[in-house]
Structure formats: C-alpha cells, structure tokens
Amino acid sequence: MPLLPLDQKPTSDEQEQVLSWLRNFNHDSNPQFMRSLEEGASQDFFIVARDDNGSVIGGLRGAFLHRWLKVDVMAVSPDHRRQGIGGKLVGEAESMAAQQGCQYSYVDTMSFQAPDFYFSLGYEESGRLRNWDSHGHDKIFLTKTLRTINER
C-alpha cells in the first residue's frame, strides 16, 4: 500500500464524515441500542449533601443508561470527609438507580483517589490502566451488582 497523506487539521465537515461512518456501523450492528440513545435513554442526574445551614458539603453526578448506573463524579468537601457523606451519596444514587431498573453500577477512579472507598461499598475491580497519568498512577474501573428494590 502506498504511503497515504495524513492531515492533522481536518475540517469540521470531514470530522463529521468520519464520525458518521462509525455511527452508521453502530446502527447496523446494534440498532436497538443506538435508537435508545437517540431517544434519550441516558438520564443524567446530580445530587448534593447539605449541612445544617444548607451549605453544600458533597455531591455526586451520574447517569442511568439501561441497566447501568454510571458515577461520573463524587466529591465531598475536605472538612467533611470520612464522616459517611460519600457513602450516603453513593447509596442514594444506587437507590435511585434501582428505582430506574438498573442492575449494575460503574465508576472509574485513580489509584490516588478513592478505590478503597468504593471497595468498602462492595465495588470490585473490573479493569486497570497502569500509569494512566504517566506519573505512576493507575486508572481503576470498578463495577457492582446492585440489589433490586425487592431485595432491599
């Protein structure tokens, strides 16, 4: 095969053309899933924890997609860590997920962040990218099977 010219600055129309090839392939390969995405199957949410004065002291952003809860971000104010707030936020998200029909939860975290916290909540490692940040820290992928509403 001859050497092909490569362009590192394609136009937005050219970028869209390439993306459309993947979308079309995905539609052909998994039409139900792709249709569900187009119909808004993913539901984003954000919950916060407040102190007695009403100030935000923690929060969790996530999404429900089919049978999965995805925890995107969970953080607690430095002054309020290790007081059970993170566990309550994750527990609330999991409860909401069960009400939405989710059976599983997924989160990724860095090795210097909160893997032990999620392990303590019943999450299991399902993958790891070693030295993900090129400074010796791994990105860890965690999953959990949620209890259904009937099991609570």
Q: Which run of H or E residues covers position 43?
A: strand 43-50
Taking 50 as the pLDDT cut, the residues of the chain under it are none
* pLDDT computed for residue 149 by the predictor: 56
Q: Nearest to residue 137, comparing CAs of 118, 116, 109, 117?
A: 109
Cα distances (Å, whole numbers) of residue 142 to 61, 107, 108, 109, 110: 16, 5, 6, 8, 11
As beta bridge partners, residue 48 has 59
pTM to 2 decimal places: 0.82
Q: Nearest to residue 123, comparing CAs of 137, 110, 108, 134?
A: 108
Question: What CATH class is the domain 42-151?
Answer: alpha beta
Residue range 88-103, pLDDT digits in tens: 999 999 999 999 999 9
* pLDDT computed for residue 151 by the predictor: 60
* pLDDT computed for residue 48 by the predictor: 97
